[in-house]
Each structure stands twice: as C-alpha cells, then as structure tokens.
Amino acid sequence: MKPFIYPHKLITFALLCLFSLGIFNESFAEITVVDDIGHAIKLNQPAKRIVSLSPGITELLFAAGGGANVKGVVSYSDFPEAAKKLPQVGSYNAVDIEKILSLNPDLVVAWKSGNPPLQISKLKKLGLNVFTSEPRNFDNIPDTLVRFGKLMNTESSANKAASDFQDGLSQLTQKYSKDKTKPKSVYIQIWNKPIMTINGEHLISKIFAFCNGHNIFHDVPQLTLNLDVETILQKNPDVIFVTRDGDLGEQWLSQWRKWDFLKAVESKELFAVNPDHLVRHTPRILKGIEQVCGFLHPKL
C-alpha cells in the first residue's frame, strides 16, 4: 500500500522545485540600475507601466523591446508608429503631473536637459521612480538601451539593438575616417526664434566632429544658447546647417542667404537636415551621421 501524502506537503514540495528552477527568483529579485545623474533606481520587479517624458526616450524604450510597457508619452512622440496612439502627458517642457499620476506608472523616464527640473523634483517627492536620461556620447546610446532592457526585463531585445547600433557606428567610422582634410567650421542652428545653437558637449555637435566639422561654438559653457544674427556673421562659418528639413528648413536657411559675404553662402554650403535623426539621441542618429557626413564630404 502506497503511503498517503498530505496535500500541504505536496504544495510545499512543488514550491521548492519551482524555487530551485529559478522560476520565482526573477520575479522577486530587486533590479538596480544607475541613471545618468548617478541616481540608483531600484525596482522590486520589471517596469510594466512606464511614462516617457521626451520623444527620444520613447524611441529608446521601444528600441529596447519595451514598447508594450510604455503607457504615456509627451507630444511629438511619433516614432515608432505605435507611439502615436499612446496617451499624452503634456509636452517635454511642461508635463501634466496629474495625468502622469492617473496612469499609475511604476517608472518615469525623464530628460535631464529638457524637462523642467521643478516638475521632475515634484514627481520624485510624490514617490515615483524617476530614471533621468541624458545621452552625451555615441557610446551612451547602446548603454542606455541595455539599462532600459534591464529595467523592463527585455534584455535580449535591448542587447541586440545595442549591438546593431555599435556595428552601424563602426561601419560609419571606417567609411569616414579616411578624411584627412582640414575641418570645416560649422554653424549648427537648432531653433529659429530665438536663434539657438549648441556647444561642443552636445551629442549633435559630436556628430559634426565625427564628420570632420568644427562647431564654431564648441567652447561656450552652455549646452544650448541663444544668439543674435551679428554673432554668427562675425564667426563667418564655412558651412551652415539647420536641424529642420522641408519647407521649414528652407525658411530657416533663407535668412542667411541674404548675407552674401558669408563663406557658407558664397560656396553654397547651406544644408537642412532631418531633425529627428539629430535631435533625438536614439539608434536613428546613425542616419543623422550619414546625412551630415554626406553633405560635408560628398566624395567619400
């Protein structure tokens, strides 16, 4: 006759087997990831309800395999296509805190140089987990993808996206490292009214440096700065770029064409580039590099 096994013993035995297989360990293991301001984000389980506070961050979260986990975005979050259908919580420079809270997020991803600091501070005081993102170098993009993958438990997708980006950057490096000519001086306009540009620490500026272009405002201390027309005229750059394309890009360039003594005007080196491929620090920045390098070095 077989011995009788009490039901509670069967349950205990089954649970021990599951724990030995690691099935429950992942669910209860604390996730710790350090953000771009050195703050350690600790989650008891992978983030499943995320609010993104910049279009670029939205792209990165989707690229890291976490599109299904994004529950709220800011305006102009238009890539990939699925991001357009998500609830909006304001704009990157004026978020709606009540709307964010209504989405019950387990993680908010903020943009350090774009979102209002006081609003981000308030979100933290309300007890929300806030990861602050600010890619400043090309290597920060794959690193951010990997960290997002860890936070969302989508590491396989995130690691592949990171690897694909590094491979693409390596190919561009091989292609454009052949250029040994003297760097061209470049003015990079990111906004029109007021006229705005960026310094050498900004990732956009590093795209131009990669393509052997020298940002004429490389050494200024501010990451972004407002300018007057006279300042650009005095600098007299070899090339002028505006981060708008289409009709709007042409409008921005037209204000410079009237100054026919400018070297960029004389040589007809005024270019409009796709803003999404430069302003958003995502894997699509590879397309921005290709476009900028193509304009600066069409023979390569």
Residue type, 44: N
**Which of 267, 286, 266, 264 lies closest to 276, judged by CA?**
286
pLDDT tens-digit map of 212-267: 999 999 999 999 999 999 999 999 999 999 999 999 999 999 999 999 999 999 99
Confidence of residue 28 (pLDDT cuts 50, 70, 90): low
Residue type, 20: S
Q: Is the pLDDT of residue 11 over 70?
A: no
Q: HEC string of the chain? A: CCCCCCHHHHHHHHHHHHHHHCCCHHHHCCEEEECCCCCEEEECCCCCCEEECCHHHHHHHHHCCCHHHEEEECCCCCCCHHHHHCCECEECCEECHHHHHHCCCCEEEEECCCCCHHHHHHHHHCCCCEEEECCCCCCHHHHHHHHHHHHHCCHHHHHHHHHHHHHHHHHHHHHHCCCCCCCEEEEEECECCCEEEECCCCHHHHHHHHCCEEECCCCCCCCEEEECHHHHHHHCCCEEEECCCHHHHHHHHHHHHCCCCCHHHHCCCEEECCHHHCCCCCCCHHHHHHHHHHHHCCCC
Confidence of residue 300 (pLDDT cuts 50, 70, 90): low
Confidence of residue 168 (pLDDT cuts 50, 70, 90): very high
Q: Is the pLDDT of residue 60 over 90?
A: yes
Confidence of residue 22 (pLDDT cuts 50, 70, 90): very low
How far is 195 from 255, CA to CA, in rounded Å?
A: 11
Confidence of residue 299 (pLDDT cuts 50, 70, 90): confident
- With a pLDDT cut of 90, the percent of the chain lying above it is 82
How far is 41 from 28, CA to CA, in rounded Å?
A: 16
Domains, the chain = 27-164 (3.40.50.1980), 177-296 (3.40.50.1980)
Q: What is the pLDDT of residue 247?
A: 93
Count of C-beta atoms within a 10 Å radius of residue 60: 26
Flag whether the pTM goes above 0.75.
yes
